[in-house]
Structure 1
Amino acid sequence: MAGHSKWKNIQHRKGRQDAIRGKIFAKLGREIYVAARQGDKDPANNQKLRLAIAKAKAQNMPNDNIERAIKKATGGGDGQDYEQITYEGYGPGGIAVMVDTLTDNRNRTAADMRHIFSKRGGNLGEAGCVSWMFDRKGVLTIDRDSTDKDEEEILLLALENGADDFETTDKGFEITTSPEAFEDVKEALEAEGFTFADAEVTLVPSNKVHVHGEMIKNILSLMDALEDHDDVQNVYANFDVDDEELARYTD
């Protein structure tokens, strides 16, 4: 389970989150807006909104931005309506790819997704073609240098509060929960003073495809293009690659 999303780790390594922070905040704001518009405006009564806010805070999104997105959603019936659509397909080397979008024009977004996949050696598939390869999990990542607590102490605390799994990585600790237990585990760890490099309910591949050589470059090109699209909220894939080989394409 460690390193649940190779793409997530690559984003950190490439510094993409600093380079495109404005775009990341815009996408997080849209997610918060949609969650607030479709449900209760009070996070205490809206789990989807709570999760969106937790995700935004894990990315250090300012509170003013979060509050502005919620306020915009409460402004009446003239707000913009977004449709949530998940696209599934295959990337170079046969890797499975899932793309979460929020769009105000499904025809435009579908055409764009089809173009991005086909131009970069993949193909857009039918609904359900790869979703069976992923499980929805809560994932909390703690950087090693952000805590003075040892591995056993973190492990016991996580498991006592409902975590399903715990892994040590080169950079820190990765805690996996069911979606239902995610908030309880997160709040329990926060009460003990922990902060998270990432904290979200996400899709985790049940099996991975190991890729090599030029295939890595082709896959990263596809993932970058998908992430850069304004309608795309999240991208998930089941590829894996050795860190040493990855360094040739990302450093």
Structure 2
Amino acid sequence: MAGHSKWANIKRQKARVDAQKGKVFARLSRAIIIAARHGGGDPAGNFQLRSAIEKAKAAGIPNENIERAIAKGTGTLDSDAPLEEVRYEGYGAGGVAFLIEALTDNRNRTAADLRAAFNKQGGNLGETGCVGWMFDLWGVVTVAAPHDEEAFLEALLAAEVETYDIVADVAEVRCPVAALEAVSNTLNHYGYHVLETERRWLSLNTVEVSDEETARRVLRLLDALETLDDIQSVATNAVISDALMEMVDV
């Protein structure tokens, strides 16, 4: 049931890079737009929107920016360039699969930017469906790592979920996306501090990256993709050991 998620480690290390590159505001604003588009503009009745707003406020995004993002999502803000959700797929070095979600007002520009990023790191942007079958969309609730794992299991059973990973000082609980709010509320009820809730594409199979050059190319591609303005999320099936991560100079 419990395990060590190497991809979660990569994700956490890249989060630091995101902050350094000043992309946090744009990424969180796009998350609000998407949540409002799918579930409406009322946070009280839209858990995804409520979560996105909480993250935005924690990052210091002004209220007027949050309101503008909600208006964009619900279509109440006039715009000459409507935003479109697009999913892209491709392969990086070593046959590693990448699944990318974008929110863009220009598909051609976004595709060209992605193609350039893939080509530079020895990969290629593929056709729709080339790697999508390797991933499933899940909800992930992150809480502080429990001191008593048996008690934590009782809380998980009450939340009707059984899959989790303990990564460093946090536990990541996996559930269906539709159950995110219920699982989050149950864990809160049992006294666990919920740090984050999110939708995440998780790979059904993984590719073990064992050499330094391939790891470097994969991580550089990940960096390049996440710094593009239109990109909302990036998932990969790469597994890179902690020891190799320490060796790689990105």
Do both share a fold (TM > 0.5)? yes
Quick one: structure 1 residues 72 and 89, their matched pair in 2 at CA, closer, same or farther if it must change by over 3 Å? Answer: closer
The answer to whether the 8 Å contact 1:163/1:176 transfers is yes
Say if 2:228 is the partner of 1:248: no
Quick one: structure 1 residues 122 and 75, their matched pair in 2 at CA, closer, same or farther if it must change by over 3 Å? Answer: closer
The answer to whether the 8 Å contact 2:158/2:186 transfers is no
Cα deviation for residue 232 of structure 1 reads 0.3
The answer to whether the 8 Å contact 1:32/1:69 transfers is yes
SS in 2 for 1:181: helix
Q: Deviations over 1:181-215 (max 9, x none)?
A: 22100122223443334321211101110002211
- Structure 1 match to 2:125: 124
- Structure 2 match to 1:162: 160
- Structure 2 match to 1:51: 48
- Gap regions ≥5 residues in structure 2: none
- Structure 2 match to 1:180: 178
Amino acid aligned to 1:69: A
Amino acid aligned to 2:157: L
Cα deviation for residue 125 of structure 1 reads 0.8
Cα deviation for residue 101 of structure 1 reads 0.2
The answer to whether the 8 Å contact 1:34/1:82 transfers is no
Q: What is the aligned-residue identity percentage?
A: 39
State the number of aligned residues.
243
Cα deviation for residue 158 of structure 1 reads 1.8
In structure 2, how many angstroms separate the alpha carbons of the residues matched to 1:249 and 1:124? 24
The answer to whether the 8 Å contact 2:18/2:226 transfers is no
- Structure 1 match to 2:222: 223
- Structure 2 match to 1:141: 142
TM-score normalized with structure 2 length:
0.85
User: What is the root-mean-square deviation in Å for CA atoms of aligned residues?
Assistant: 2.6
Say if 2:16 is the partner of 1:19: no
SS in 2 for 1:245: helix
Amino acid aligned to 1:201: R
SS in 2 for 1:126: coil
In structure 2, how many angstroms separate the alpha carbons of the residues matched to 1:58 and 1:154? 25
Q: Deviations over 1:49-99 (max 9, x none)?
A: x32442553573347354453256568351352100000010000011011
The answer to whether the 8 Å contact 2:41/2:49 transfers is no
Quick one: structure 1 residues 247 and 143, their matched pair in 2 at CA, closer, same or farther if it must change by over 3 Å? Answer: farther
Q: 1:209 aligns with which of 190, 199, 207?
A: 207
In structure 2, how many angstroms separate the alpha carbons of the residues matched to 1:198 and 1:101? 21
The answer to whether the 8 Å contact 1:58/1:199 transfers is no
The answer to whether the 8 Å contact 2:36/2:49 transfers is no
Quick one: structure 1 residues 216 and 55, their matched pair in 2 at CA, closer, same or farther if it must change by over 3 Å? Answer: farther
Cα deviation for residue 224 of structure 1 reads 0.2
Say if 2:29 is the partner of 1:29: yes
In structure 1, how many angstroms separate the alpha carbons of the residues matched to 2:6 and 2:166? 15
Amino acid aligned to 2:203: P
Q: Deviations over 1:121-144 (max 9, x none)?
A: 101111111111111111122233
SS in 2 for 1:235: strand
> Within 5 A, what are the aligned runs for 1:80-119?
80-119=81-120
In structure 1, how many angstroms separate the alpha carbons of the residues matched to 2:163 and 2:38? 32
The answer to whether the 8 Å contact 1:85/1:100 transfers is yes
TM-score normalized with structure 1 length:
0.85
In structure 1, how many angstroms separate the alpha carbons of the residues matched to 2:213 and 2:26? 32
- Gap regions ≥5 residues in structure 1: none
